[in-house]
Chains A and B, each alone.
Chain A
């Protein structure tokens, strides 16, 4: 692998499968780690293994999550010195204005609404991967992983 890592925070196994399928079909070269609820996501960064776990190149964050919701995870990531520059892309079903505003207020790097149409969904994931893994220059603190 090329040291790139995507952390997918997603509780819905269907969405997880579809996202992984879309990534694979688009031949995005990256390790993928999946956190299936809010607590698991927080543990990845701040748990026992937090210091050992590699920083993801990008986090794909769902908002409706069991235990700890997506916005809270984002707030925690942004308030910790070690993770505050972590690129986070909100990838959710909601296009509620309040979610979009809240997301950006808390420092999301991007907000993407999952389309129902799988073709469109695949296209969104393709562009997302291309942008964050290849075009985008990662913050310096994260560069050590690559």
Chain B
């Protein structure tokens, strides 16, 4: 019960209760200790006082006793009345018979017979019998009785003092404690939390007025903190009505995330933000207001716009390139076909009118047009490869290589070529494009080993220390001079004449483009008349597409 009662209190009330309880316990404990110690001191002091008084009395009374002068004894006893604590006093002879006495009131007469020497406490009375000495001889006894203040009276008095002290201390400390509690429970750390945020952060009361802002908000709006506090939150946005929706939604749902708004800076600059807001409540569950944090997404939005712009540009460029290719494939080929066709018609219909040189010229015209046709086709293929969409899948490169080699063999049955394909080399790549890579690399190997008596082609892979697999296609054919290695992968670059080996010089450029699109690298190694090796990797690009 007590626990739930305490739990229902606000943090500030809890802190107050704790500090009041602590001070009460401290004062009560201190009181008990002080009262106990004071009681002991009081007793010791009273005993000391009474003993001293008895000794003085005893010293003075030895003569009257000796001379049996009762009048003198009374003269010694009478001044006891000056001490209000002394209730009665008496002097006894050695036989214990009362010799003379003094009594403040008749209520408390001294005892008629002397008792044993010593101090005795009885109720509120402290009594002492003390010997009267004359030359070391006991000649009688003195008796003194003092009233002592009752313990309870003193406790009551102390309690009163402690109560007043407590009241005074509470009066002084409570306001201080309250201030400190306020400081702790409220803004000191909360404010530093607000300030620590690099995002514009505001607190808004249920009326929609700003109650606090951080420096980031000051920067975002261009207005001082003092100027912002107390003003309408929604007035700092390009669309105040939409900003007003924030509280509606937050008050209804308790939370809002990534609500897009645009802050208007005093100098007119606009800042695109995403608002995240939540209500904050008192410990009793009453909604006190809303904490709203804005994430500046201007840069993000600009980057997005930039990406969109570039994508659009790229798409436009691609479209243009496509249109260009399309037109090339139609419009450049048609005249070639006419040149070839009519040259052929001339050769067929007018061969009688042409001598061998004339026929030879026409044949050259024809083969040149055909070569141009091939160049156009290869050029189109190269540009198509840069644009074609890629579909990655796991492919068995070894099977693909074997199939390409078998196809080459089928189209060139009279040649006898040995080949070795390392089995089961798998890779993540685009199957159609990889087929083109092997058509080119193996086609080259096939072509450039045509003058080699014992042609050999090999496909394999090397696993590098970095975990990247390098594939290679090796042949023992014509090879090339490494001086010209830089020209290997350039489009329409050839290291051999068409008469030596046919070709347009687009094959390796195509290979390089495909490998680059796979995020890989390609390189070639050659020794003239001993062979060539082409290496490539297929590292998958992690983001984006490398063209």
Contacts and interface: CB of A to CB of B under 8 A. Distances in A.
The answer to whether A and B interact is yes
Interface of A: 12, 14-15, 17-18, 21, 63-64, 92-96, 114-119, 121
Interface stretch (B176-184, B335-343, B452-460, B504-512): B335-343
B373 interface: yes
Interface of A is mostly: loop
Nearest to A18: B341
A18 B373 CA distance: 17
18 contacts: A14-B338, A14-B342, A15-B337, A15-B338, A18-B338, A18-B341, A64-B331, A93-B329, A93-B337, A95-B377, A96-B325, A116-B333, A116-B336, A116-B337, A116-B372, A117-B370, A117-B373, A118-B343
B198 interface: no
A69 B427 CA distance: 43
Ordered nearest first, which 5 A-B pairs have the shortest CB separation?
A116-B373, A14-B338, A118-B344, A118-B341, A18-B341
Given A18-B338, A117-B340, 9 more contacts: A14-B335, A15-B338, A18-B341, A93-B334, A96-B325, A96-B329, A117-B366, A121-B337, A121-B341
Most B CB contacts (10 A, CB to CB) among A14, A15, A64, A117 go to: A117
A14 B337 contact: yes
Contacts of B345: 21, 118
A21 B340 CA distance: 13
B40 interface: no
A17 B340 CA distance: 13
Contact of B330 (A94, A119, A121): A94
B339 to A, nearest CB: 9
Interface in B298-348: 325-326, 329-331, 333-338, 340-345
A64 B333 contact: no
B369 interface: yes
Contacts of A18: 337-338, 341-342
A118 B337 contact: yes
A14 B325 CA distance: 22
Contacts of A93: 329-330, 333-334, 337
Nearest to A22: B341
Given A12-B334, A93-B333, A94-B330, A118 B325 contact: no
Contacts of A94: 326, 329-330
B330 A118 contact: no
B334 A118 contact: no
A93 B338 CA distance: 12
Nearest to B367: A117
B326 A21 contact: no
A96 B340 CA distance: 22
B386 to A, nearest CB: 14
Contacts of B326: 94, 96
Contacts of B337: 14-15, 18, 93, 114-116, 118, 121
A116 B368 CA distance: 11
A63 B340 CA distance: 21
